[in-house]
Structure 1
Amino acid sequence: MTRGRPGLAGPGLPAWGQAFPARLAEDVRRAAAFVPESRPGPAEPFRVVVTGESVDIPSRVYEEEPGECPGPGLTGTQRLILHCLYSRHHDGHVRQRHLEALLPAAEPWVVPYVIQQAGEYVREIQEAIRRGLPGIAVPHSPQRRLYGAFIVRNAEFFARTERRAVSYWACYHRAEYPVFGASPGGVLMAEFRAAATECAGTAWPRHTPRPVAAALTPPCAAAARPPSPGSRP
């Protein structure tokens, strides 16, 4: 069950303020002082749950980067907030630069900003995520637990992310990577799914193409295949 957001109701909160947990309201206000106003405002948000609280993250933002980003005099948390915001920027180069600053963070509220980009179309960003999350492939690592716990609590969001990753692969990357699972996005989806499986203690549902060997083997062919010598009774 998610809780309300009284901490984000006060004055001085930007339109994108509900992209962060309520306990960060004051940090959001301080970070917002460095963000130029934008027309148009943030694009339609997507909702996820972070530590039991719903947050609404903009699909895209159009605010220009401040002259000194992330602003001088900000705390580490406030800098992370700015990096999260600009990781949703409409310019892919800006998105990647700020995303790379997020990858070492172990804050649960940073995770959806990373996973969202893993399902988008920029291959260089997907490759940066793979480089920046070395622990995601390590069983029982803190990083794997962090991402697995988020996915388990946001199953629908992750399913949409997987489907979107497949769609973008089919449109933009299939010529280079004929098999989805071999593409940067495909590898990331598999690693995230393994993290969720470890956290949930059961196989996490797949919303991407099956591995090519399994996909190319008709069930009847597998059933008709003669047993190997070692498997005979």
Structure 2
Amino acid sequence: MMMQLAHRAFPSCLEQESKALDQVLGQLSQAREAMHRFIEVRVGGEELVIPYRIYDQGYEVVFDHLTETQSILYSCLLTRHHDGHMRQRHLERILSVREPWVVPFVVQLMGEYVIQILETVEAHLPTLDPALYGRFIRDNQVYFQTTHARMISYWDCYYRRLYKYPSEYVGFRVFAKLCEFP
């Protein structure tokens, strides 16, 4: 249920905000998450558990009742929504946020098949904080390698005919840039 998503997906320093968000969402939604799949990452020395997919309405009216921080938390969760358009819309909301707990939500999207999402990330690469992303990559090397491999697999399956050479495909360019971050 969405009620428990925020509490597990964000660091303890956001416990009060994430619990408040869980309460608001619990009143509105009976969201389902992909129970068998989670994304486990380390952020700031803490283990976080992010849902792989969320299946709910993506209640936009909720934003009117949230603090700024809660709104960012909810947008992070909605980047895990089953609808690619919803994921992209909320990615655009969080790309400019310079917080370490936002990074795994952005990086996860880089390994998915929706090319428009990768293009959005590429357009915002100059604004990403290299130190934040570099630290996340160093702290989550196996996760990062798996995400990179997933991007390659999607290119091979869906885009290889359109982008014959890896350098032509946006996913390869995005990961190459990320690997340059300190």
TM-score, normalised to structure 1, is 0.72
Letter in 1 for 2:119: E
CA distance in structure 1 between the aligned counterparts of 2:137 and 2:167, rounded to whole angstroms = 19
Over residues 1-46 of structure 1, what are the superposed CA-to-partner deviations in whole Å (9 max), with x where a residue is unaligned? xxxxxxxxxxxx9221201111212111222244333353344211
- Among 139, 158, 165, which residue is 2:151 paired with? 165
Structure with max Cα Rg: 1
Tell me the CA shift for residue 108 of structure 1. Answer: 0.2
Is structure 2 residue 71 aligned with structure 1 residue 79?
A: yes
Q: Flag as ranges the 4+ runs of structure 1 deviating above 6 A.
A: none
Q: Do 2:112 and 2:154's aligned partners in 1 also have CA atoms closer than 8 Å?
A: yes
CA distance in structure 1 between the aligned counterparts of 2:33 and 2:51, rounded to whole angstroms = 10
Q: Do 2:58 and 2:81's aligned partners in 1 also have CA atoms closer than 8 Å?
A: no
CA distance in structure 1 between the aligned counterparts of 2:72 and 2:39, rounded to whole angstroms = 19
Letter in 2 for 1:160: T
Instruction: Say which is worse superposed, 144-153 or 27-36, in terms of deviation.
Output: 27-36
Gaps of 5+ in 2: none
Is structure 2 residue 94 aligned with structure 1 residue 105?
A: no
Over residues 103-149 of structure 1, what are the superposed CA-to-partner deviations in whole Å (9 max), with x where a residue is unaligned? 0000000001001101110000000111123245xxxxxx1111111
CA distance in structure 2 between the aligned counterparts of 1:116 and 1:128, rounded to whole angstroms = 14
Gaps of 5+ in 1: 1-12, 137-142, 200-233
Shift in CA distance, 39/75, structure 1 to aligned 2, threshold 3 Å: closer
Letter in 1 for 2:70: Q
Partner of 1:6 in structure 2?
none
Instruction: Say which is worse superposed, 79-88 or 178-187, in terms of deviation.
Output: 178-187
Percent of paired sites with the same residue = 37
User: Secondary structure at the residue paired with 2:130?
Assistant: helix
Tell me which of the two structures has the higher relative contact order, counting C-alpha pairs closer than 8 angstroms and 6 or more residues apart.
Answer: 2
RMSD: 1.6
**Mapping for residues 94-173 of structure 1, pairs under 5 Å:** 94-136=86-128, 143-173=129-159
Is structure 2 residue 11 aligned with structure 1 residue 21?
A: yes
Aligned length: 177
Partner of 1:32 in structure 2?
22
Partner of 2:46 in structure 1?
53
Shift in CA distance, 26/42, structure 1 to aligned 2, threshold 3 Å: farther
Letter in 1 for 2:143: F
User: Secondary structure at the residue paired with 2:4?
Assistant: coil
**Mapping for residues 164-183 of structure 1, pairs under 5 Å:** 164-183=150-169
TM-score, normalised to structure 2, is 0.91
Tell me the CA shift for residue 67 of structure 1. Answer: 4.4
CA distance in structure 2 between the aligned counterparts of 1:160 and 1:67, rounded to whole angstroms = 32
| Structure richer in helix, relative to its length | 2
CA distance in structure 1 between the aligned counterparts of 2:159 and 2:148, rounded to whole angstroms = 15
Shift in CA distance, 46/172, structure 1 to aligned 2, threshold 3 Å: same
CA distance in structure 1 between the aligned counterparts of 2:167 and 2:42, rounded to whole angstroms = 28
CA distance in structure 2 between the aligned counterparts of 1:116 and 1:41, rounded to whole angstroms = 16
Q: Do 2:110 and 2:121's aligned partners in 1 also have CA atoms closer than 8 Å?
A: yes
